[in-house]
Structure 1
Amino acid sequence: MTQITEIDIPINTTIDRILHKIEGDQSGPVIVLFGGIHGNEKAGVKAIKSVLPQLNSSKIKGTVYGIAGNIAALKENKRFIIKDLNRQWTREKLKSLEKQIDYKNEDAEQKALYRLLLEILNNHTGPFYFIDLHTTSSKTIPFITINDALINRRFSNLFPVPKVLGIEEYLEGPLLSYINQLGYVSLGFESGQHDDELAVTNSIAFINLALVHTEILEAEVAENVSVYKELLSQSAENNTKTYEVTYRHKIEPNEDFRMCEGYKSFQDVDEGIVIAVSDGVSIALKETATLFMPLYQKAGEDGYYLIRPIPKLALKLSAILRKIKFDNMLVLFPGVSWYDKTKEILLVNTRTAKYMAKQLFHLLGYRSYQLDKNNIKFYNRERMSKKAMYKHLNWYKSSSF
């Protein structure tokens, strides 16, 4: 296999918000690469600084942005300074942010990122692609996380790594969830463990493949396309399954949570095995499950997740049901109504929700949020997506569910 080399990038120096930008000689798609939304996750920043400066504008069709996330946290090698920048991207938070006068720490970082995001959307016509590059505190094979819209599924299926759906149902305010609400293709790529050199190499491979799949870079002029595919496939141990999140252990304030040593993402763990300790009490799995993103760092609210593979038949059925907008039938049930005239959110009475399987809502592209003790909001990523922007493109037509 051809060796992929990376440039030695010093991180703890002055970091510009725009790490690199290149405009092709021809107009075309726009791809936005975020690195360092968490300041202790530097592999994405290094990969961006390695790949983008080597691009030739004469061979580029469109525009490529490489953007640094939490600059202050990157300089200090911390996940964040005061609060997690990747948990602030709700519409309510953005409205309050606009009214603020004094911006400090993560508020200042978010304000700068938000202005830049709006500037990119206003200055280009697209199609747009947003990719957030991350790493994890535990050992892991590379994987993709997406909000469950078909445009995201189809695009992520182009990469030879596992995909994980539904994590946004357990988190409030990730950057990509906000961008997905705007309707654009957006995905997170977790390239490996924080300090593993392979995490940078995986990110380099992923960026290059993304440039080819978006047709920003022609496959004929891109170097080592087959090498990048093979590298990611080997790093992912040939795992290309699609999973969904079934459980999250949320770490409460002042909780003393510690994962037991030796666990990694995508590891199958048997029922009864002790995997963590919380306030001195052992946590044993109640059923055999697949472990996902166990926490091995002090900062963070997510102790671990559990995931399970989604059968291909279920994925195909969900694509068909969404295409025919089967969810219009749900409002015929008592206790179910549209939240507003946009028909993007369902409001479901908690009593009704007990009798309607959550899997049905997931099948139709909905993810839940508890509004109050009597009502649950179900958000539909499918109705929000700008499918018309992508459906004529080669990758959309060639990929499936």
Structure 2
Amino acid sequence: MQQVAKAEGMKVRRVIDHIQGEKNGPTVVFFGGIHGNEPAGVLASEQVFEEIREKKIPVFGNIYALSGNLGALEHKMRFQQEDFNRIWFPDRIQRILAEEVLAHPEEQQLKELFQIIEEILENGEPPFYFLDLHTTSSDTTPFMVLNDSLLNRNYASNYPLPIILGIEEYLHGALLSYINELGYVSLGFESGQHEDVKAVETNIDFIWYSLMLTHSIPADEKAKKLHYESIFKASSTSHRFYEIYHQHLIAPGHNFEMKPGFINFQLVPKGTELALENNTILKTKHQRQIFMPLYQKQGNEGFYFVRPVPRFLLWLSKQLRQFKVDYLLAILPGVKWDSKVKDTLVVDLRITRFFAKKLFHLLGYRARQVDKTHLRIKSRERASRTNDYVETSWF
């Protein structure tokens, strides 16, 4: 496996690049290095933006490439004090903005990046696209992750990649979840394993294709097709939607070691030894499809299980959401609107035990456990700024 030069000698800076083009174009933002041991997105963005300038390719609207966790990138580690991609909660953001002395480097990084994002939203023109470039600790086929709104689904369907829905139910405080709740297209792209040079190459294809898809640069159909085919060839997993249904969290203070050799989307037979945690062997109780096995020292998400989403359910959920059937949920026993949080329902599990999470997912809600007896479910659709995108060619 060829290795990525882990940002060796790379001058790490917050704004990797910004090209302001002609008016009446979109605003596209690429993030790289949100985790400091994932420099592939930073390196790929630099190369693409440099080539745009060298070849004098016309740009419409504004395109940005931003670095995430500068300190972690410089130290070549996932994070310094706290995972930078787990702290984007609205109330915490407001506290960080208000304080002069912050708890640790990641809070300072958030303050700086948040202010840049606010400036982009203030000065840019819609439609806005936020695309977060990542890599994984295990070997992987490229894939996309996104909050399950119809707007995100619609946009992501233009890429020949497996698409993971509902990750925001498990990864709390992610940057893209915060942006998605503002109503914009936002998704993550996982291009490959951290140290594989192919991850940089796939990111480059992804960036070029995204710029053409959004009409940020002239959509030369031949070039667009070539980048599309390169992304397709890099992926060994079918282009369809998957959902996460299980997360193994590593308990605080526990020693966790994933068994070697697992890769994303691998089918694992019943009884397979997955990991060793505090001298306890973790085995599969049934056949599972594994996702994001942890092969790095930092991080507390050991692995996930995923399963394909039937196409009929995707179609049904689209119909139900478009007709706003979810308004009827509040008339069901044990379900009521939250008096404090907009577009949020509180579900009493003592009364609604027969309701599965699948029902709420179909209707466009994500579910969070409040306590043993209550769920809080929030609409993914209410915030979507769909009208900003209806005139795009991909919509």
Taking structure 1 as the reference length, the TM-score comes to 0.93
1:335-374 alignment, distance < 5 Å: 335-340=334-339, 344-374=343-373
Alpha-carbon distance, 1:341 to partner: 7.8
Give 1:313's aligned residue: 312
Contact 1:18/1:65 (CA < 8 Å) preserved in 2? yes
Counterpart CA distance in 2 for 1:256 and 1:23 is: 48
1:37 partner letter: I
Matched, 1:191 2:191: yes
Q: Which residue of 2 aligns with 1:98?
A: 97
Q: Please tell me the residue identity of whatever aligns with 1:206.
A: F
Deviation readout 1:166-191 (Å, 9 max, x if unpaired) = 11101210000000000000000000
State whether residues 162 and 240 of structure 1, in contact with CA within 8 Å, keep that contact through their aligned partners in structure 2. yes
Percent identity over the alignment is 41
**Are the aligned partners of 1:202 and 1:232 in contact in 2 as well (CA < 8 Å)?**
yes
The alpha-carbon deviation at position 14 of structure 1 amounts to: 3.1
Task: Map Cα deviations across residues 308-358 of structure 1 (whole Å, 9 max, x no partner).
Answer: 000111101100100000101111111111114875211111213422111
* Partner deviation per Cα, 1:240-290 (whole Å, 9 max, x = no partner): 011000100001111111110000001000111111111111111111111
Question: Which residue is equivalent to 1:380?
Answer: 379
Alignment-derived partner of residue 23 in structure 1: 20
2:168 match? 168
Q: CA deviation at 1:370?
A: 1.9
The corresponding residue for 1:3 is none
1:266: which partner in 2? 265
Specify the code of the residue in structure 2 equivalent to 1:333: L
**What whole-Å deviation, never above 9, does each CA across 1:15-68 have from its counterpart, x for those lacking one?**
221000001123310000000000000110010001012225661111000000
Of residues 51, 54, 68, the one that matches 2:51 is: 54
In structure 1, how many angstroms separate the alpha carbons of the residues matched to 2:358 and 2:87?
Answer: 28
Q: Contact 1:85/1:110 (CA < 8 Å) preserved in 2?
A: yes
Within 2, Cα distance between the matches of 1:365 and 1:12?
45
Residue in 2 that maps onto 1:250:
249
In 2, Cα distance between equivalents of 1:212 and 1:9: 28
Partners of 1:189 and 1:293 lie apart in 2 by 13
2:275 aligns with 276
SS in 2 for 1:209: helix
Maintained 8 Å contact 2:24/2:125? no
In the alignment, which residue of structure 1 is the partner of 2:297? 298
Q: Which amino acid aligns with 1:68?
A: S
Q: CA–CA distance in 2 between the matches of 1:10 and 1:44? A: 11
Report the 3-state secondary structure (helix = DSSP H, G, I; strand = E; otherwise coil) of the residue aligned with 2:367: strand
State the secondary structure of the residue aligned to 1:287: coil
The DSSP-based 3-state class of the residue aligned with 1:29 is: strand
The one-letter amino acid paired with 2:42 is V
Does the aligned pair in 2 maintain the 1:259–1:275 contact within 8 Å? Answer: yes
Q: Give the stretch that moved more between structures: 335-344 or 137-146.
A: 335-344
Question: SS of 2:118's equivalent?
Answer: helix
**Structure 2 residue ranges without an equivalent (≥5):** none
Taking the TM superposition and a 5 Å limit, the aligned residue runs for 1:130-149 are 130-149=130-149
Corresponding residue SS for 2:394: helix
- Tell me, in whole angstroms, the C-alpha distance in 1 between the residues paired with 2:256 and 2:323: 45
Unaligned stretches of 5+ in structure 1? Answer: 1-6, 397-401
Aligned length: 389
Q: Counterpart in 2 of 1:40?
A: 37
| Alpha carbons of structure 1 residues 50 and 263: separation in structure 2 relative to 1, 3 Å | same
CA–CA separation in structure 1 for the residues paired with 2:311 and 2:105: 44
- Write the distance in 2 (CA, Å) between the matches of 1:156 and 1:253: 35
Give, as a single letter, the amino acid of the residue that structure 2 aligns with 1:32.
V
What is the deviation of 1:204? 0.4
Deviation per CA, 1:189-244: give whole Å up to 9, x if none. Answer: 00000000110011000011110111111212x77322211111111125101100
Secondary structure of the residue aligned to 1:161 is coil
Q: Secondary structure at the match of 2:346?
A: strand
User: 1:399 maps to which residue?
Assistant: none
Give the counterpart letter for 1:19 in structure 2.
I
Whether contact under 8 Å (1:233, 1:239) holds in the other structure is no
CA distance in 2 between counterparts of 1:366 and 1:383 reads 10
Q: Distance in 2 between matches of 1:348 and 1:106?
A: 34
Q: Is the 8 A contact 2:17 2:64 kept in 1?
A: yes
